[in-house]
């Protein structure tokens, strides 16, 4: 920070005490414009002031700055292709935990990836490769669908899911798909309603016009499914078939579904303000 910037910041911090609401609004706008670099000075000012009303205003200001930073990061992740699914889910988790660090659970996932990689070779069939992933993910690391209610927000927060190995179907699918990406295996998400699944894709596979060799249910220990099972499931829940329910979706689609699920969880768990704010992380909001 330059000397000029430092002086401006000091002046803005002092003006936060001004009782005139118009002055506070102007100062807030400028601090929001300055962005993440002013969060630490704002936190220090919060600690120094003895006025509860001002503390509340500073808290709201910090939340706004952090959310704006998060939204820019999410837009950047999308615009660059949304390649790293783990990073996309990390950004979603930062909505709840703004100071969350990416590296701890990135390293945990890298360790699982290395364990799987050591057991893979080019002689294995697609099914055999999936069995290796399943063994390490479900038998060794004990990932499983949580028995908690679907509207528990923690089930959609990647740090919580990787720490506990318990999560929602979309989170388990996201972790599975990201491991596959890091292992250069063609396993992608499929936006099946009511139950997020994965598919093993091979453009040279002749038995399916979409190149889908088989489907994988990440919330059932990686059980392998065929197209008939997916169609039967849709008929049971009375949902009309669409081609997009059986073909690979993008990583951005997966994270959008994660956001929608978390939004629903916040709403159902009595946190409608968080649900409404989270909606702004979606595209075109």
- For 207-236, write each residue's pLDDT tens digit: 888 999 999 999 999 999 999 999 999 999
What is the pTM assigned to this prediction?
A: 0.90
| Local structure of 227: helix, strand or coil | helix
Which has the closest alpha carbon to 198: 206, 189, 208?
189
Asked if CATH classification 1.25.10 holds for the domain at 3-79, the reply, yes or no, is yes
The DSSP secondary structure of 16-59, one letter per residue, reads TT-S-HHHHHHHHHHHHHHGGGGHHHHHHHHHH---HHHHHHHH
HSE of 211 in the Cβ direction (CA atoms, 13 Å)?
A: 8
Answer for the pair 231, 144: CB distance below 8 angstroms, yes or no. Answer: no
Sign of CA dihedral 104, 106, 109, 114: negative
pLDDT tens digits, one per residue of 19-61: 777 888 888 888 888 888 888 888 888 888 878 888 888 888 8
Which has the closest alpha carbon to 220: 108, 130, 157?
130
pLDDT band at 109 (very low <50, low <70, confident <90, very high): very high
The better pLDDT of the pair 35, 109 is held by 109
Domain ranges of the chain: 3-79, 85-281
Rounded to the nearest 5 degrees, what angle is found at the Cα of 198, between the Cα atoms of 196 and 201? 150
């Amino acid at each position: 920070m330059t000397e000029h910037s430092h002086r401006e910041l000091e002046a803005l911090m002092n003006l936060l005490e001004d009782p005139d609401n118009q002055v506070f609004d102007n100062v807030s706008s400028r601090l929001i414009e300055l962005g993440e670099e002013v969060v630490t000075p704002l936190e220090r000012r919060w600690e120094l002031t003895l006025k509860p009303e001002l503390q509340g205003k500073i808290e709201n200001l910090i939340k706004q700055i952090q959310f704006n930073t998060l939204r820019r990061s999410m837009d950047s992740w999308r615009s660059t292709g949304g390649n790293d699914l783990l990073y996309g889910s990390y950004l979603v988790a930062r909505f709840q935990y703004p100071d969350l660090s990416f590296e701890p659970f990135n390293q945990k996932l890298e360790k699982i990836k290395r364990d799987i990689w050591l057991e893979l070779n080019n002689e294995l069939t697609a099914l055999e490769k999936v069995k290796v992933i399943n063994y390490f993910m479900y038998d060794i690391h004990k990932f499983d669908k949580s028995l908690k209610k679907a509207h528990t927000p923690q089930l959609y927060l990647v740090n919580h899911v990787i720490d506990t190995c318990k999560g929602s179907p979309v989170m388990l699918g996201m972790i599975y798909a990201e491991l596959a990406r890091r292992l250069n295996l063609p396993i992608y998400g499929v936006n099946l309603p009511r139950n997020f699944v994965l598919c093993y894709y091979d453009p040279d596979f002749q038995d399916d016009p979409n190149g889908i060799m088989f489907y994988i249910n990440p919330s059932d220990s990686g059980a392998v499914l065929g197209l008939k099972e997916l169609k039967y499931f849709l008929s049971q829940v009375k949902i009309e078939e669409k081609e997009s329910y059986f073909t690979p979706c993008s990583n951005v689609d997966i994270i959008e579904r994660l956001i929608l699920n978390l939004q629903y969880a916040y709403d159902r768990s009595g946190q409608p303000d968080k649900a409404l704010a989270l909606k702004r992380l979606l595209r075109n909001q």
